[in-house]
Amino acid sequence: MIIKTKIENLKNYKIYLNVEQATHEFFQKKGYLKVDLPVLSPALIPESYLEVFETEFRYFDKREKLYLTPSPELFLKRLLVAGVGNCYYLGKSFRNSEPNSSFHSPEFTMLEFYKVGATYLELADEILDIMKFISSSLSFRAKSRNPIQSPMREISPLAALGRNDSDIIYKGKKISFEKWEKFTVAKAFDKFCQISKEELFDENLFLKRAQEKGYAISYSSSPESKFGINSVDNPDKNRDRQARTINFSYQDVFSQILSQEVEPKLGKNGYPTLLYDYPAEMSSLAKLNKDRKTAKRVEFYIDGIEIGGCCEELNDWHEQKKRFDDQIEKRDRFHMKNHAVDNGFIETLQYGLPDCTGAGIGFERLAMIFVDAQSIGKLKLINVK
């Protein structure tokens, strides 16, 4: 990786700062407590898909493992148990094995907030309010800076088509935050990839259907495939290596089909799209719906890109412990680094997490929409890539 100075991004960066300021204003107005949190932690929540950054605290002979937090969740939930009420964090989070790309950076800015007593669909509507608020406040700034000429963003011909104050233009298309376009996950899989509800919620049927559609559901780690053609000429060397078939998990295949066939259709019709009621397997920290198959989780999309989501937080500590164990077992199975598990978190839950919904938003991705930038890198003055 190298360090690059990108002073040409100064204009974008200034809009980013305005988005950030508007976000703080919104939460202040709504009475959320702003919380600053550590990014180094001695233990984390186990989630089967997350790779983490590991470091070490040193003092003479003393050594202690520390991790860069992949999300502020375990800290904020502790505070919720302690009775802090509605709160939010806007700051850095870290995810390993996520190389830089248009929509990814191993080090990114996370907006995470919790509202006590709110359902997941209620909080989703508040996310819409945040976007409306940011948009109006940017447009207000632009106008007050230049009261005679209309602001830059409105030069587009689309501006004439009955634009609301909180509408924005992203990649040449108008996006309105007046409402969500909504699909349940089951409806979206049925509509966009002809996968029925029965198939979606049954692991075996789902993998079978995926295979019919041409997706790989397993792979063979035979000596040939691992060491190239040469090993065929030298079978002795590889005699002890046994070919074995490794199955992809439900999560792997679900994520792939969602990305390939569903996401490109979301957030394309002038409104952000809300996808809700995810399969329980995809939501290790969310409460389940009455059907026990779906979790109270939503994600929202603009122009095919997932920006963030929220879920009703699981507060049954027995269930949470069970799911943690399950995630740890999965991490073992897929040979991921097992970090120290935050068991204190389970203990804390025993004191009672209030009924609440928590939301997480990739803040750079959100800001990209308002800056009309095509990649995270375009928002930064200093890039490490």
Partner 1 sequence: MKVNAGNLKKGDFIRYQNEIWQVQKAEFYSPGKGSALMKTRIKNLLSVKNVDYTFKSNEQVDIVDVESIEMQYLYKDAENLHFMDERTYQQFTVPIQLVGKAANFLQEGNKFFVYFHQEKPLSVKPPMSVRLKVVETEDAIKGDTVTGAKKPAKLETGVVIHVPLFVKVGDIVVVNPESGEYVERVKE
Residues lying near partner 1 in the complex (CB under 8 A): 47, 49, 95, 97-99, 101-104, 214, 216, 219, 225-226, 228-229, 248-249, 251-256, 258-260, 264, 282-284, 297, 299, 306, 308-309, 360, 362
Residue (272 or 362) nearer to partner 1, CB: 362
Least Å from the CB of residue 228 to partner 1: 5
What are the backbone dihedrals phi and psi of residue 328, each rounded to the nearest 5 degrees, phi first? -65, -40
Residue (78 or 104) nearer to partner 1, CB: 104
How many H helices and E strands in the chain? 12, 17
Helix (H, G, I), strand (E, B) or coil at 361: strand
Least Å from the CB of residue 61 to partner 1: 38
Residue (32 or 49) nearer to partner 1, CB: 49
Least Å from the CB of residue 140 to partner 1: 30
- Map 172-197 to HEC letters: CEEECCCCCEEEEHHHHHHHHHCCCH
Residue (51 or 202) nearer to partner 1, CB: 51
Dist. CA 233–CA 220, nearest whole Å: 19
Least Å from the CB of residue 375 to partner 1: 10
Q: For residue 304, what are its two tokens?
A: 């095919």
Residue (102 or 164) nearer to partner 1, CB: 102
Q: For residue 53, what are its two tokens?
A: 């950054």
Residue 47 CB coordination number (10 Å): 19
Contact yes or no for 289/259 (Cβ under 8 A): no
Contact yes or no for 126/115 (Cβ under 8 A): yes
Q: Give me the torsion for CA of 115, 117, 121, 126, rounded to 10°.
A: -40
Among candidates 265, 245, 251, 254, which has minimal Cα distance to 213?
254
Least Å from the CB of residue 6 to partner 1: 17
Residue (138 or 356) nearer to partner 1, CB: 356
Residue (138 or 307) nearer to partner 1, CB: 307
Least Å from the CB of residue 139 to partner 1: 27
Least Å from the CB of residue 101 to partner 1: 4
Residue 121 CB coordination number (10 Å): 17
